[in-house]
Amino acid sequence: MNRVHNFSAGPAVLPAEVLKKAQAELTEYQNKGRSIMEMSHRSAEYEAIDQQAKDRLTELLGLGDDFEIMFLQGGASSQFMMAPYNFLSEGQTADYIDTGRWSNKAIKEAKIFGNVHRPYSSSETGYDRVPTDDELNFSDNPQYVHFTSNNTVAGTQFATEPETNGVPLVCDASSDFLSKPIDVSKYGIIYAGAQKNVGPAGVTIVIIRKDFLAKADTTDVPTILQYQTHTEKIFNTPPVFNVYMVNLVLEWVQEKGGLDYFKKFNEEKGALVYDEIDKDDFYRGAVEKDSRSLMNATFRLPSEELEAQFVAEAEKQDLFTLKGHRSVGGIRASMYNACPRESVETLVNFMQDFRAENG
Ligand code: PMP
């Protein structure tokens, strides 16, 4: 295999071991004479995959019996709509912490269903930080508090869950899902598009606390958009190959040592890049230090010309997709679970050489 160092923000690098296993099983799954893509989603083989993936998530996150897990379609963007559709009605209020592009898109959808209160927004400073608990001004009686645990575009991340004094969190965890342990007891819903930390694009993982689900008001919600519909059995044809891939990635996460392992691994990779940024003024972190993301490191160079040159020269050394999001510019190195340490070390070496030549 001749794989590049892939810093894509998503769809992102997958573990090479997982891709190899999928390749070996691609035309024939478990000696059944056909691939998993060519079997019924009601087959024993697929149902076993669906169950195994759910069991693995339960084990990795410590979910116990309190949660329902579902593999849906429509991306995290559909969850921006589905969560308020089920849990926010006219006259009610939900609190949405506004920390960037994706929070904003979630807010836009929620407003269709009810009132949205922003307990905090960093929009005026270009989304350069996430709040501390004492900066959060909640409304009196919110249905839930929504937050984006990692802000893929700006490059900020909540180090821990915001303190809501018991109000359930609804979390868009798309870009840091399974990158570290979390306190699941604080969450009503955790949702994540798979394409960054857990698998290929096309499946969205949704985890809902059962006692929160019981509070859903689904009077006017179409069947497929009710969470309850997806809890009893597989409702309609799921993206079977994607769930199969997710299951392989989850197996890999378990074999590596679970979420404690990845917390440490991701902290180490992040430190390599951020230490390099902080060495002098050539590289400049794009966000406040306390809010830095271990998943998406964003930084600037002295000029946009140098940034373009950085991206172009990096590619010549097999360092791919380092250009910042089109809405903010700069450089963004995305380093999800499957990004090997060697890729980050190669990037840091390149940063040193580039500074030496252009600083
Ligand atoms: N939330 C976050 C934090 C994201 O990074 C993204 C995609 N980059 C989305 C939501 C949107 O996800 P999707 O394209 O799966 O709808």
The per-residue pLDDT for range 182-195, each reduced to its tens digit, is 999 999 999 999 99
| Calpha distance 359→356 (Å, rounded) | 6
**204 phi and psi, to 5 degrees?**
-120, 130
Please write the tens of the pLDDT for every residue from 113-134: 999 999 999 999 999 999 999 9
Give the Å distance between the CA of 40 and the centre of ligand 1: 29
Which of the listed CATH numbers 3.40.640.10, 3.10.129.10, 3.40.50.80, 3.40.630.40 matches domain 16-256?
A: 3.40.640.10
Task: Check whether 2 has a pLDDT greater than 90.
Answer: no
Catalytic residue among 186, 196, 269, 323: 196
Predicted confidence at residue 232, as pLDDT, reads 84
Domain 258-358 bears CATH identifier 3.90.1150.10: yes
172 is catalytic: yes
- Which residue's CA is the closest to the ligand 1 atom numbered 14? 75
| CATH 3.40.640.10 domain residues, the chain | 16-256
The mean pLDDT of 22-44, rounded to a whole number, is 96
| 102 CB near ligand 1 (under 6 Å) | yes
Please write the tens of the pLDDT for every residue from 191-213: 999 999 999 999 999 999 999 99
Check whether 77 is labelled as a binding-site residue: yes
Give the Å distance between the CA of 74 and the centre of ligand 1: 11
Ligand 1 atom showing the smallest separation from residue 9 Cα: 8
Task: Check whether 101 has a pLDDT greater than 80.
Answer: yes
| CATH 3.90.1150.10 domain residues, the chain | 258-358
Ligand 1 atom showing the smallest separation from residue 151 Cα: 3
Give the Å distance between the CA of 349 and the centre of ligand 1: 30
| 172 CB near ligand 1 (under 6 Å) | yes
- Pick from 24-28, 230-234, 330-334: least confident: 230-234
Check whether 152 is labelled as a binding-site residue: yes
For the question of an ipTM over 0.95, the answer is: yes
Give the Å distance between the CA of 102 and the centre of ligand 1: 7
Catalytic residue among 172, 176, 180, 269: 172
| 109 CB near ligand 1 (under 6 Å) | no
Predicted confidence at residue 12, as pLDDT, reads 98
- Which residue's CA is the closest to the ligand 1 atom numbered 10? 76
Catalytic residue among 98, 102, 128, 180: 102
Give the Å distance between the CA of 317 and the centre of ligand 1: 29
The mean pLDDT of 261-279, rounded to a whole number, is 98
Could you tell me what percent of the chain has a pLDDT over 90? 99
| Calpha distance 333→319 (Å, rounded) | 10
Please write the tens of the pLDDT for every residue from 54-92: 999 999 999 999 999 999 999 999 999 999 999 999 999
196 is catalytic: yes
| Calpha distance 209→65 (Å, rounded) | 9
Ligand 1 atom showing the smallest separation from residue 10 Cα: 8
Ligand 1 atom showing the smallest separation from residue 195 Cα: 15
Predicted confidence at residue 286, as pLDDT, reads 97
| Calpha distance 230→238 (Å, rounded) | 11
Q: For the chain, give the mean pLDDT.
A: 97
Check whether 102 is labelled as a binding-site residue: yes
| 148 CB near ligand 1 (under 6 Å) | yes
| Non-local CB neighbours of 150 within 8 Å, separated by 6+ positions | 156, 157, 158, 173, 174, 175, 176, 179, 293, 295, 296
| Calpha distance 223→231 (Å, rounded) | 12
Predicted confidence at residue 21, as pLDDT, reads 97
Residue 167 · residue 150 · CB < 8 Å: no
252 is catalytic: no
Check whether 195 is labelled as a binding-site residue: yes
Residue 341 · residue 265 · CB < 8 Å: yes
Residue 11, preceding peptide bond in cis (omega within 30° of 0): yes
| 198 CB near ligand 1 (under 6 Å) | no
Check whether 236 is labelled as a binding-site residue: yes
Task: Check whether 1 has a pLDDT greater than 80.
Answer: no
- Which residue's CA is the closest to the ligand 1 atom numbered 5? 152
The mean pLDDT of 224-245, rounded to a whole number, is 96
Confidence of residue 248 (pLDDT cuts 50, 70, 90): very high
Confidence of residue 289 (pLDDT cuts 50, 70, 90): very high
Give the Å distance between the CA of 279 and the centre of ligand 1: 32
